[in-house]
Amino acid sequence: MKNPKVQGRKESIISRELTLILTKEIDDVILKAVSISEVRLINDNELAKVYYSFIAFSNQTINQNIVQTHLEEKKNLIRKLLARKLEMRKVPDLSFVYDDSLDRANRIDQILADK
């Protein structure tokens, strides 16, 4: 049986390390705009669902598809860098999922402002 405290601590560590990897260790301007909002470990730590959002710069046209493509292209490198930092026997496979909660919140605010 999983211990929720240990599970939460692992998720938090992975989230923190992924943020550092994306902002400091990978030389990709688009990935520097990515913010990790949550990590969920599933299937006995075999898979980490990484929920992300991004900040679009005014001078560049960055959309969800471009960011997702860059993340998928660099997934193996990110996982390799993550393995060096974690004290886990097996590093989980990474699955990047766009977190649209901010978009939904903005849409609700807009609807309420229109009334």
How does DSSP assign 19-72, residue by residue? HHIIIIIS--HHHHTEEEEEEEEETTTTEEEEEEEE---TTS---HHHHHHHHH
One pLDDT digit (tens) per residue for the chain, 115 residues: 478 888 899 999 999 999 999 999 999 888 888 999 999 999 888 999 999 998 876 556 778 888 999 999 999 999 999 999 988 888 999 999 998 877 777 788 888 888 7
Angle in degrees, CA 23, 11, 38, rounded to 5: 60
pTM of the model as a whole? 0.84
